[in-house]
Structure 1
Amino acid sequence: MKRWFAFTLLYVASSFLLIPNISPYFGRVQIKESKSIHAHSFFTKLLNRNYVTEEMNQVITNVAVQLQKEYSGIKVMYLDANFPFFDSFPLLPHLSHNDGKKIDLAFTYEETNGALTNLKKSRSGYGVFEHPNNKGLDQTTKCKKQGFWQYDYSKFVTFGEINNHLTFSNRANTRLINLIASHPKVEKIFVEPHLKHRLKLKSSKIRFQGCRSVRHDDHIHVQIH
């Protein structure tokens, strides 16, 4: 019991006091939270999955500030980013979150009265999908028919569905994605094809991630040059 307590104390102290001061030597910084940007889950920070390059930190900060100017009180809520050290070290289960230049952002939702909220629909931020309303754009079915069984496996990592009354906000998510796409340092954005169609997103930066990945109608994947 004493060993477990000592390990826990050392781990927490390292995560919140030591690692944030060491990570810049490896080209990573801890995401700077503010009134406009925040982690969806405390465990993202506890597990040190909240590190990015300084450039990425500036990008998401700029986007978050602009979004809140337009939608008062609404924050950019981030999910998984990267570990604090070493390029090419995998951030499982992600395929590419290994260089500080990638981050997942949560969608924005509306209350039953149409008011925007910072609440989400799963405890992890992943796994509660905004399903296609056009069968022709059902990429999940297409990928799974091709043998990519893992394409919707994130439904198993919600850690509990919550706030089932919320609905996907077309207006806020359109604006958020367009703000990200307009930033010159952003290279790619992954969302499902049916959402790109529904939200009338035109930027060439908004792409389909491929069937080897997982579906992206529960979050937004952003990467910079």
Structure 2
Amino acid sequence: MKSNYFFKGILHVLIFIFLTVVTQIGGILYVIPFLLISNKVSKYKLKRRLFFIILYVTTSFLIVPKVAPLFGRVKIENSKNLEAHNFLTKLFNRNYVTPKMQEVLTNISLKINKESPSLKVVYLDANFPFFDGFPLLPHLSHNDGKKIDISFIYQTEKGINTNAKPSNSGYGIFVVPKKNEINQTNICKKKGFWQYDFTKYFTLGNFNSELKISEKATKNLIIQILKEDAISKIFIEPHLKNRLNLSNSKIRFHGCGAVRHDDHIHFQIK
């Protein structure tokens, strides 16, 4: 009997940690139903779960956006030009940035849409709503509202640019280097950085395997990013920087301690 309580306690701790790591606020909200609903109440397990779901959704979509500005963050404003690739990004509160970053994203998306009205800037992970220094794992630096990942622009087999992406998460489907290009993944893994390509396990499914990167449109997207004075760094893989003939000093290699960046663009502001 005591062992059952022990393992249940461990399970609840693990759930608390998982929800905190993935959503920032989920762990704290997970505890509240246990404090308010006694285990002596009929169907208390079901009631706790339903209470948690309602509490989490209400807090994430109604309360957090109102409180985040007190911490210098705003929820990214989706528009016809700018949107999250995956609903989970919004559900898990990974779509918060500083007001300046919101301004930069809006400017970039308007430029892209003006040139190609059918295209949108599609973002992936940004930052959590609260507290500088709180890590948005598995990212190393998304902890101050000033960083964001956005997707490449892809094209169909017929060469038509599209807003669709090759993976459901936006990560893990790589634009692999050609034989004559720098293979940074091999270099890093030979040095012992085993995690360098581990995002291949986090695609959440791949239903658009026929899509290929639109090199012209993606290069233009990066150029539009670089035109924003607030930009401090852009991370993409070295072979893509060379392939797209990009030479700006703000485009840098992120180091082997991170993960490969030939499935998305990371940029940050000053």
Structure 2: which amino acid aligns with 1:153? F
- When the two structures are superposed, what TM-score results if normalisation uses the length of structure 2? 0.82
Q: Decide which of 25, 32, 52 is 2:77's aligned counterpart.
A: 32
Determine helix, strand or coil for the equivalent of 2:67. Answer: helix
The offset of 1:56, in angstroms, is 0.4
Structure 2: which amino acid aligns with 1:40? H
Q: Decide which of 245, 248, 251 is 1:206's aligned counterpart.
A: 251
Determine helix, strand or coil for the equivalent of 1:221. Answer: strand
The offset of 1:136, in angstroms, is 4.4
Q: Deviations over 1:133-177 (max 9, x none)?
A: 144410000000011111000101101112111111011100000
Aligned to 1:160: 205
Structure 2: which amino acid aligns with 1:159? L
Runs of 5+ unmatched residues, structure 1:
none
Distance 1:136 1:73 in 2: 32
Preserved contact between residue 40 and residue 124 of structure 1 (Cα < 8 Å): yes
The offset of 1:71, in angstroms, is 1.1
Q: Decide which of 82, 94, 98 is 1:49's aligned counterpart.
A: 94
Aligned to 1:172: 217
Determine helix, strand or coil for the equivalent of 1:44. Answer: helix
Determine helix, strand or coil for the equivalent of 2:197. Answer: helix
Distance 2:198 2:208 in 1: 21
Aligned to 1:103: 148
Distance 2:250 2:179 in 1: 23
- When the two structures are superposed, what TM-score results if normalisation uses the length of structure 1? 0.98
Mapping 1:118-197, distance limit 5 Å: 118-197=163-242
Q: Decide which of 55, 67, 77 is 1:22's aligned counterpart.
A: 67
Determine helix, strand or coil for the equivalent of 1:137. Answer: coil
Determine helix, strand or coil for the equivalent of 1:154. Answer: helix
Preserved contact between residue 82 and residue 97 of structure 1 (Cα < 8 Å): yes
Preserved contact between residue 134 and residue 194 of structure 1 (Cα < 8 Å): no
* Cα RMSD for the two superposed structures: 0.8
Distance 2:216 2:134 in 1: 36
Determine helix, strand or coil for the equivalent of 1:171. Answer: helix
The offset of 1:202, in angstroms, is 1.7
Determine helix, strand or coil for the equivalent of 1:203. Answer: coil
Distance 1:115 1:169 in 2: 9
Structure 2: which amino acid aligns with 1:160? G
Structure 2: which amino acid aligns with 1:188? K
Q: Decide which of 39, 58, 69 is 1:13's aligned counterpart.
A: 58
Runs of 4+ in structure 1 deviating by more than 6 angstroms, as ranges, are none
Determine helix, strand or coil for the equivalent of 1:104. Answer: strand
Determine helix, strand or coil for the equivalent of 2:83. Answer: strand
Structure 2: which amino acid aligns with 1:37? L
Determine helix, strand or coil for the equivalent of 2:49. Answer: helix
Distance 1:5 1:106 in 2: 35
